[in-house]
Amino acid sequence: MKKLLICTNYRANPNQHSCAARGSKALATDLAHLVKNEEVEIIVETSNCLGYCDIGINLKLSPNGDFIHNAIKSQDSQAKLFELIKEFAIK
């Protein structure tokens, strides 16, 4: 089964960027609900650091999918992100 990995890592130094500080935990919850409600066949999982902290929130489509950087928690961006996830799930 395909997966969507969402970084929910906080960095030790609060002055450094991190996905969790940018709201990745809430985004993971929202996307998990969307996937369930729309019956999209993909597993949403939280992950430790995926790298690229300066351009997060970072997500990874697995296996062999792309990284998604700067995923923000606005409704417009979330709708576009969800469409990308659905396309990946049916490939």
Residue found by looking up tokens 């997966």 in the block: 3
Tokens at residue 23, please?
């709201």
pLDDT tens digits, one per residue of 15-71: 999 999 999 999 999 999 999 999 999 999 999 999 999 999 999 999 998 999 988
For the packed helices 24-38 and 75-90, what is the interaxial angle rounded to 10 degrees? Answer: 50
> What domain range is 17 assigned to?
3-90
Tell me whether residue 7 is exposed, middle or buried, using C-beta atoms within 10 angstroms of its C-beta: 0 to 12, 13 to 18, 19 or more: buried
Query: pTM here?
Result: 0.88
Give the CATH number of the domain where residue 76 resides. Answer: 3.40.30.10
85 has a pLDDT exceeding 70:
yes
Q: Structurally, how many domains does the chain consist of?
A: 1
- Going by their DSSP bridges, the two strands 3-7 and 43-47 should be labelled as parallel
Question: Quick one: tokens of 4?
Answer: 């969507």
Q: Is the pLDDT of residue 73 over 70?
A: no
pLDDT band at 77 (very low <50, low <70, confident <90, very high): confident
